[in-house]
C-alpha cells in the first residue's frame, strides 16, 4: 500500500513517465500541502561561495550543533534552470527535513548554460564543497562528515564532481547520493538542453561522462530512480550501478521509488511518504557514523 494519498498516486500514474515543466508544477502543487511542519530550524539564506550571483547557498540547522553531519543538496533544472529555493516549499522541504534530524543541510545553486558549459557545474561544486569544509565548524558541522546529494541535472554535476579525475571529489566527501541523473553521453539520446551544456562533439563524450571515471574511486554511493522517470534518466542509473558493482565487487544500494515521477520523489521528502527520506537517513548514517 502506497503511503501517499490515493488521489495523488493516481494522478502521478496518469501523468506517466516524463520530465516536463507541467509535470514539475503539478507534482509540486500536490505535495506542498503534505510537507510536515518543522520547529526550531534556523535558516541562513543566500550565502556566497563564489563571486558569480549563482554561486550561493542556503543553510538549515538547529541552534547549538557541533560536529554534525553535513548534507549538501544540488537541485536539478535541465542544466539551464532550477534553483535551491524555487518557492516557499521547495527545496526548503529538504533543508528543514535534514535539519530536523540533527544535521546541517546546505542547498546550493550553480552556474547555468548557455552562460557556461561543461565542466562549470561540477567545478562550482568543488568550490562549494571547499567553502563548506573550510566553514564547517562555524556551520555546526564536521568537515569529514559531508554527504553530497544531487537530483537530475544536479546528480549529473555531483557524479562529475565525485568521479572526474580532474576534480577528485571522492577524496573530499564521505558519500554521494545520485538521484535520477544523466551519467553517460550518447549522440542518439542527446537532448538539446544536454547538448547545450556538454556540447555535441562525440569525440568528447567519453571524457565528459561520469560513467567513464568510476574505477579508482572508493566513495560510497546511494542511487535512486523513480518508477515514472523518463527512460533517458532511468537507464543511466542502472549503468552506473553496474560500474560500481564491478568497482566494489558487490552492488551499491539502489532504491526504486514506486508511484513517484521524476519530480515527486524529491517533493515527497519531509512528508509522511518516508520511503526515500528513511533510505537517505540510513545511507548518511552509514557514511558518517
Provide the domain count of the chain: 1
Q: Is 83 contained in some domain?
A: yes
Question: Model confidence over 151-162: pLDDT tens digits?
Answer: 999 999 999 999
Question: Model confidence over 96-144: pLDDT tens digits?
Answer: 999 999 999 999 999 999 999 999 999 999 999 999 999 999 999 999 9
184 is in which domain, residue-wise? 24-34+41-288
Q: Is 3 contained in some domain?
A: no
Q: What's this model's pTM, rounded to 2 decimal places?
A: 0.97
The CATH number given to whatever domain includes residue 86 is: 3.40.50.1820
Distance CA 106, CA 88 (A): 16
Q: Is the pLDDT confidence value at 1 over 70?
A: no
* Residues pairing with 58 in the sheet: 107
Distance CA 163, CA 264 (A): 27
Q: Is 10 contained in some domain?
A: no
Distance CA 109, CA 159 (A): 16
Q: Is 221 contained in some domain?
A: yes
Q: Is 88 contained in some domain?
A: yes
Q: Is 1 contained in some domain?
A: no
pLDDT at 244: 97
Amino acid at each position: 500500500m502506497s503511503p501517499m494519498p490515493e488521489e495523488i498516486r493516481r494522478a502521478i500514474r496518469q501523468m506517466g513517465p516524463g520530465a516536463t515543466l507541467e509535470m514539475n508544477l503539478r507534482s509540486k502543487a500536490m505535495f506542498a500541502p503534505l510537507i510536515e511542519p518543522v520547529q526550531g530550524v534556523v535558516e541562513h539564506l543566500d550565502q556566497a561561495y563564489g563571486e558569480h550571483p549563482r554561486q550561493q547557498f542556503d543553510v538549515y540547522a538547529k541552534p547549538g550543533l557541533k560536529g554534525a553531519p553535513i548534507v549538501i543538496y544540488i537541485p536539478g533544472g535541465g542544466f539551464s534552470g532550477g534553483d535551491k529555493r524555487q518557492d516557499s516549499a521547495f527545496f526548503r522541504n529538504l533543508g528543514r527535513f535534514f535539519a530536523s534530524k540533527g544535521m546541517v543541510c546546505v542547498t546550493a545553486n550553480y552556474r547555468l548554460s548557455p552562460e557556461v558549459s561543461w565542466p562549470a557545474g561540477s567545478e562550482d561544486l568543488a568550490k562549494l564543497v571547499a567553502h563548506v569544509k573550510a566553514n564547517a565548524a562555524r556551520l555546526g558541522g564536521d568537515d569529514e562528515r559531508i554527504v553530497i546529494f544531487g537530483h537530475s541535472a544536479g546528480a549529473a554535476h555531483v557524479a562529475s564532481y565525485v568521479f572526474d579525475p580532474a576534480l577528485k571529489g571522492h577524496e573530499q566527501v564521505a558519500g554521494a547520493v545520485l538521484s535520477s541523473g544523466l551519467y553517460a553521453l550518447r549522440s542518439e539520446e542527446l537532448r538539446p538542453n544536454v547538448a547545450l551544456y556538454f556540447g555535441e562533439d562525440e569525440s568528447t563524450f567519453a571524457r565528459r561522462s561520469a560513467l567513464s571515471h568510476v574505477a579508482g574511486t572508493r566513495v560510497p554511493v546511494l542511487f535512486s530512480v523513480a518508477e515514472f522517470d523518463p527512460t533517458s534518466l532511468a537507464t543511466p542509473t542502472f549503468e552506473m550501478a553496474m560500474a560500481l558493482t564491478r568497482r566494489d565487487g558487490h552492488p551499491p544500494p539502489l532504491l526504486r521509488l514506486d508511484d513517484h515521477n521524476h519530480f515527486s520523489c524529491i517533493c515527497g521528502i519531509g512528508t509522511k511518504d518516508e520511503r526515500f527520506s528513511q533510505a537517505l537517513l540510513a545511507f548518511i548514517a552509514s557514511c558518517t557514523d
